Amino acid sequence: MSERAREAELIEAHRAGDRAAFDQLVDLFKQRAYNLAYRWVENREDALDICQEGFLRMHRAMQGWRPKSSIFTWLYRVIINLSIDLRRKQSRERTVPLEGGSASSPHAELPIASGEIGPRRAAGMKELSRSIQEAALRLPRRQQKAFVLRFYEGLQIREIARIMRCSEGAVKATLFQGVRKMRKLLAPEWQQREQGNYEMQGYKTSHQISHLR
């Protein structure tokens, strides 16, 4: 049985009063939902909270569910929105410590493979990653969602169109606008890095800009 067929079967069982069916749906989706939330919020507890809220919303939605699309596609959209909202809130509330960083910060540690990358380059890569995420938070919500799904989740255009409930052409146009704005937001910092001959893992930041397509 395909996952879509199994999903539909469990939804019908839940609506018929089978309480165990919802738990089975959670088991079916929980790992992917958690991975999705964690990749964006980079904190285990926050990701678990987002998943809990997402599954609560899914439970409420299932009573009137009409299977025009997969309910996981619906859940995916909810998880993305909750993750974006949390990152926006964290961005507004963030304070910078006078010295060092918090051990609980999602950017506090970066695994370094021996002989592959030095601490200075690792720090530069971490800062670049944080700059890209913070710039993404400044995009209009629709552009932000498309950017996250394409460049963080690696989804195909047709998958993004299904999640965002729009045409593939609309997704491409939204991505074009989002990437153009990201380049403008990040250009001053990347120019500063290039002036300092700042290289990370063998490539310059201008190479990163050219690959935001």
List of domains in the chain: 1-92 (1.10.1740.10), 117-213 (1.10.10.10)
What is the rounded average pLDDT of the residues 153-174? 90
Residue 204 backbone phi and psi in degrees, to 5: -85, 165
How far apart are the C-alpha atoms of 114 and 151, rounded to whole Å? 28
Neighbours of 154 (CB within 10 A): 8
What is the rounded average pLDDT of the residues 78-84? 90
From residue 134, give the alpha-carbon distance in Å to each of 117, 152, 200: 24, 13, 19
Kindly state the tokens that stand for 35: 């991975």
pLDDT band per the 50, 70, 90 thresholds, residue 118: low
Query: Which residue matches tokens 């991975």?
Result: 35
Residues found in the chain:
213
3-state helix, strand, coil in the chain (%, to 5): 70, 0, 30
Task: Of 27, 25, 37, give the one whose Cα is nearest residue 153.
Answer: 37
How far apart are the C-alpha atoms of 47 and 79, rounded to whole Å? 9
Top mean-pLDDT range of 100-114, 174-188, 189-203: 174-188
CB 3 within 8 A of CB 27: no
Query: 104 pLDDT exceeds 60?
Result: no
Residue 165, pLDDT score: 85
Element (H, E) at 174: helix 168-195
pLDDT band per the 50, 70, 90 thresholds, residue 175: very high
How far apart are the C-alpha atoms of 74 and 202, rounded to whole Å? 40
Instruction: Tell me which of 100 and 85 has the higher pLDDT.
Output: 85
pTM above 0.85, yes or no: no
